[in-house]
A and B are shown apart, each in its own frame.
Chain A
Amino acid sequence: MTSVLRLDGVDRSFGDRQVLRNVSFDVVAGRMTGFVGGNGAGKTTTMRIVLGVLAADAGQVTWQGAPLSREARRRFGYMPEERGLYPKMSVREQVVYLGRLHGLTTEAARRATDALLERVGLAERGDDLLETLSLGNQQRAQIAAALVHDPEVLVLDEPFSGLDPLAVDTIVAVLRERAAAGAPVLFSSHQLDVVERLCDDLVIIADGTIRAAGSREELRAAYTSPRFELVVETDAGWLRDQPGVSLVDLDGARAVFDLAPGADEQPVLHAALARGPVRAFRPVAPSLTEIFREVTQ
């Protein structure tokens, strides 16, 4: 059986307001799954339910086919959206403490803490009180806190917000290691460029419902029409009248256009060649932002 973290028909309301409707998706082992959605779409609520911090009104969350127990959840690593550790405790001491709470022996917790602080670049600051660290370094400490017990599953709510580019690279490398070691990694973000760079799979949520879920390539194929860039010698405005073509961008001799489903790009190229030299003609991969727009409209 593949190791899958699965959400199945999860509903949740706060008072009269339903924030999750029939949320179902899989997070597959060894893959980075990006969880994207606008503010208030339900990302944090979903993650809290996965961690058992909130109860679902209906539906369930399973890991390796079994409903989640507290014991199973203790082997999860969690980074909540609103960060927090003890301000007046040293970084090392509280990471060890969290390791102990997740079931490690003192010895194992110490070893894991030292290795992780080294890994995230905080070894020098380990004995400093958390409140004396810069925000970026507090974020690194937070990552160490989420990883100290070598979790089987990682759930990270906006792990990159507030990080400088260097720290993002460090954290990305650490997360990739975990995924390569076979852990499913679910992370939310509203920075679509970061998600695009990172994720293997994508789950898109809007207004509490899952709008799309699957691998990045599948979603691309399913939700965007084929897009091309054409560069000619003179004005490319004639493309407007070409059957099956809808212009996305026109800048003199350079044009970006989508093809209607089923339309072939070769007749467009022939038409262009008939009008003069063609300097460039290539397919353009649509960005995640476009998929996101398409799906959440």
Chain B
Amino acid sequence: MNTVEASRLVAAREIRVKLRDRTFLISTLIFFLIAAAATFLPPLLAGGPPSVAATEAAAGPLRAAGLEVRTVPDDAAAEWAVRDGEVDAAVVAGPAVLAMTDAPDKVISALSNEPPVRLLDPDAVDPVLAFLVPFAFAFVFFVTSQTFGVQIAQSIIEEKQTRIVEILVAAVPVRALLAGKMIAGTILALGQIGLVALVAVVGTAVGDNSGLLSLLGPAIGWFIPFFLLGFVLIAAMWAAAGALVNRLEDIGGVAMPVQLAVMLPFFAVIFFNDNATVMRVLSYLPFSAPTAMPVRLFTGDAAGWELPVSLLVLLVTAVGFLLAGARVYEGSLLRTNGRTSLRTAWRERETVS
């Protein structure tokens, strides 16, 4: 059996154990519900066209505009229908529009002669979406890399804490252990966001928001490779952090730098998403690129060549961190007395490999 086969076995165990873990299943379900709610609900809540009360004489143009018209015998009845909240608005002689608090735009435009409109920048993104999309990307990356990264660290510590690691290391190469865990974490993370994305896409399609879908499509497409490499980068740090301690209780001490490396870019992308210069810088920095670059693509700020360049920077960084993480992992895996310092782990590789 070679390293590849051993990694596959290790990964299969990690996945099997995780898929039976109730906490994991519940958190995935909650994620799905959020995604479904975010995409299914808005069209439902938006409701139908406004209802208007009018005499039969005034109803014609309103019907033509697709509004829901209730015919009333006279203007007084129309006014009462509005006051009672039976309709959103009324059209009375004049013509005048009656409504309670807000001027009903659709009713007004049905009665007026609007000049033709030419949009000079038709692709510009709705400001609400321009805020929500970066938030969604950053949130998904933040939560997923955090959740699955911590799980990789926990699984490493569990093996150290129970000392089963000695049996494992005697049977398979240390690298196969690490590779198996990283692969399992990546598959689970990608699987989870893949399913969430699927729910979101189906929801958007069902909710008849296909315009949004075509706008988001490329950003999501690029988000996946960025996410994948970004995840490897973070997971390598978690693996090294996990290997340095011996007990789950001690993970706090080593987790802080890793958590900062995920959290700071998350808040940076959210706070500076409307600052083109900062976003340009963030889209090249490896820790923020996975969220910043797809967002710039979405808002139309990124030139085509920028994506592969940023991806390459991320790739090189991720490989570097992976190698460094593997070295720390090898150097500290069998040191079971107390916490191992990063320097010791880096210098000493105990095992025969």
A binds B: yes
A residues apposed to B, CB below 8 Å? 48, 51-55, 70, 73-74, 76, 78, 80, 82-89, 97-98, 100-103, 145-146
CB–CB A100/B9 < 8 A = yes
Query: What separation, in Å, do the CA atoms of A74 and B351 have in the docked complex?
Result: 15
CB–CB B351/A55 < 8 A = yes
Pick from B17, B170, B336: contact of A52, CB below 8 A: B170
| Pairs across A and B, CB under 8 Å, 25 listed | A48-B166, A53-B169, A53-B170, A53-B334, A53-B351, A54-B350, A54-B351, A54-B352, A70-B173, A74-B1, A78-B166, A82-B163, A83-B163, A84-B162, A84-B163, A84-B167, A85-B164, A86-B162, A86-B164, A87-B158, A97-B9, A98-B171, A101-B6, A101-B168, A101-B171
Bitwise, B8-38 to A at CB < 8 A (1) or not (0) is 0110010001000000000000000000000
CB–CB B351/A82 < 8 A = no
Within the complex, the shortest CB–CB distance from B16 to chain A, in Å, comes to 8
Query: What separation, in Å, do the CA atoms of A86 and B161 have in the docked complex?
Result: 10
Known: A88-B17, A97-B9, A101-B172. A145 touches B1 (CB 8 A): no
Contacts of B1 in A (CB 8 A): 74, 101, 103
How many B residues touch A, CB cutoff 8 Å? 26
CB–CB B167/A76 < 8 A = no
Question: A-B pairs with CB below 8 Å: how many?
Answer: 72
Query: What separation, in Å, do the CA atoms of A87 and B159 have in the docked complex?
Result: 10
Within the complex, the shortest CB–CB distance from A146 to chain B, in Å, comes to 8
Contacts of A145 in B (CB 8 A): 167
CB–CB A51/B170 < 8 A = yes
Contacts of A53 in B (CB 8 A): 166, 169-170, 334, 350-351
Query: What separation, in Å, do the CA atoms of A145 and B163 have in the docked complex?
Result: 13
CB–CB B162/A78 < 8 A = no
Query: What separation, in Å, do the CA atoms of A85 and B159 have in the docked complex?
Result: 8
Query: What separation, in Å, do the CA atoms of A53 and B334 have in the docked complex?
Result: 8
Contacts of A83 in B (CB 8 A): 163
Query: What separation, in Å, do the CA atoms of A55 and B334 have in the docked complex?
Result: 12
Interface centre among A84, A97, A145 (most CB of B within 10 A): A84
Query: What separation, in Å, do the CA atoms of A76 and B172 have in the docked complex?
Result: 12
Contacts of A87 in B (CB 8 A): 158, 162
Contacts of B168 in A (CB 8 A): 101
Query: What separation, in Å, do the CA atoms of A52 and B166 have in the docked complex?
Result: 10
Contacts of B13 in A (CB 8 A): 97
Within the complex, the shortest CB–CB distance from A267 to chain B, in Å, comes to 57
CB–CB A52/B352 < 8 A = yes
Interface centre among A53, A55, A70, A88 (most CB of B within 10 A): A53
Bitwise, B321-353 to A at CB < 8 A (1) or not (0) is 000000000000010100000000000001110
Within the complex, the shortest CB–CB distance from A142 to chain B, in Å, comes to 9
Contacts of A73 in B (CB 8 A): 170-171
Contacts of B163 in A (CB 8 A): 80, 82-84
Contacts of A54 in B (CB 8 A): 334, 350-352
Contacts of A76 in B (CB 8 A): 170
Closest residue to A48 on the B side, CB-wise? B166
Which residues of B255-309 are within 8 A (CB) of A?
none
Contacts of A82 in B (CB 8 A): 163, 166, 336
Closest residue to A88 on the B side, CB-wise? B17
Query: What separation, in Å, do the CA atoms of A53 and B167 have in the docked complex?
Result: 9
Contacts of A74 in B (CB 8 A): 1, 171-172
Closest residue to A155 on the B side, CB-wise? B170
Closest residue to B350 on the A side, CB-wise? A54
